[in-house]
Chain A
């Protein structure tokens, strides 16, 4: 199965190309709007394609031969560009060979405790406010409407704050911790995080799950901790002081948001997390040390 990944320039797209290629399946096709955006994917012998996100023809041509697609806006994508890309993508997928479209909507659920333990998408937590979240929500709507008229089945993975290799916000956090700068988090604010490798695992599941109706899933990591605890855990992994001593929880706390939301994703998509929080932190900090030195 060939799966087109757009935008391969971002941290999520780049890791997806990397994981899919190194595991041998599905076969990734890297799409980006500028040649520089293909530098990460070009490390592998994979298909690289330049696309104009405003041109239906350009996207349609790039998607030829692919049966699935992942739409993962990059961190640097402007909000207006995200919506425009989604609209063009919807047109390009129309009556084409794309059977499944997975959108990664990394907006960070504002309140994951608002979710109900049901399978439907009606009770989803809201997105964090801001132009990027608004654009992602609009893009979700655009792509979910595709199903009404045409074939692709759209699955939206609405994620928490993604962290891991190459993620700019994680690099910023690590840099801030090492330099003793950076904003202090609210002590009791919940950490709605998701390790990149778990997102890739969920995407893989979404691409192959036997599901006949389009759905929106929310996805965060199992461990229920606060932002401050997460920050302290990163600091410990980096060997610097965050000024807070907190241990990572070994198991998800009973009744936490993970059990509420994970039930949905695991049951319907067959998703299993690839890494726990400790391993996710180890990989993320290993990347940071590699990138920094």
Chain B
């Protein structure tokens, strides 16, 4: 069975109409990340890419080619899409909450780039607004549908290799949101994905320490250590300075699992005891390399459209991101300064002063 065979069939609203999609924000990012899934959904009649907000008024070559009947507007207010339209919003983070609010008030479902807002309080407010308007606010979290995510969650659950003893997560090689200037700090991008992974795999956590290298701006490198409610500890390194590809290491009582996206064989499993039963659970569930980011985003869109038609909460509802956002808030609040040992003595003194008094984020 291929990934495509497993996809749910197209659904329609009562009366036979299919959901409409509206695109707003960084269209280059939307094309890069959602391009093939949007085209496929549009062509197979699952959804109709109906409108886009383009301040300049000229569609990108991709939009003009793939969706020639697209309605264009310079502002969101100028569009008159029907309720239950799905708005895909990828504006810069500073403008995102306002645009999401606007869309939710129009009765549109929203799929937002991650995160909908840069803190948990604002995201909670948006979730409440969505609830009052009886629409859904979901977040682009394709990693949750990636095969490796479920595979590692299975390992982390303790059924295969015994309980987790410790973990080490490195993130930083790829960004999860549209790029912008100034960039969001590392605690947000890619930090939120890492916090979401930890929350999904290991449950509740408490940060023991958090440090970053912001000196009046936003952090490029951040580190944190956690104590998990399950009784073990783990560490996280977010690094946009060296931009190393993501890698995850889970040490369990009876073995170790490594997931290194830069490696030709990203998954490595080492068993400390050669018991066949141990491998049985994981064997046959190894990640499906054929489903890349485009595949997971298509699955995400299909699930979201299905939920909208059935009136269900989507799996990626923004409330499910709140634990990760709360953790990012907490780390930013308690953070200390990372040492920068390559600086001269004078630079170190100035850096110490900036770190204490000059943090902008």
By a beta-carbon cutoff of 8 Å, the part of chain A in contact with chain B is 18-19, 22-24, 34-36, 38-46, 48-50, 164-166, 171, 197, 274, 283-284, 286-287, 289-291
Contact = CB atoms under 8 A, between A and B. Distances in A.
Nearest to A14: B241
B347 interface: yes
B183 A45 contact: no
A249 to B, nearest CB: 23
Contacts of A274: 344
Given A45-B358, A166-B241, A283-B341, A38 B218 contact: no
Contacts, number: 85
Interface stretch (B64-72, B174-182, B266-274): B174-182
Q: For the complex, would chain A's binding face be called helix, strand, loop or mixed by DSSP majority?
A: helix
B333 interface: no
Interface in B322-361: 338-344, 346-347, 350-351, 354, 358, 360
Given A43-B220, A44-B215, A290-B340, A23 B346 contact: yes
Contacts of B84: none
Instruction: Give the 4 A-B CB pairs with smallest separation, nearest first.
Output: A35-B179, A286-B341, A45-B216, A287-B342
Give the interface centre of A22, A46, A166, A287 by most chain B CB atoms within 10 Å.
A22
B179 A36 contact: yes
A291 B217 contact: no
Nearest to B348: A22
Contacts of B179: 34-36
Give the interface centre of A39, A50, A284, A287 by most chain B CB atoms within 10 Å.
A39
Contact of B351 (A22, A166, A171): A22
Interface of B: 175, 179-183, 213-220, 239-243, 338-344, 346-347, 350-351, 354, 358, 360
Contact of B217 (A22, A46, A166, A197): A46
Contacts of A43: 213-220
Given A40-B220, A166-B241, A171-B242, A284 B342 contact: yes
Given A39-B241, A45-B216, A45-B358, A290 B339 contact: yes
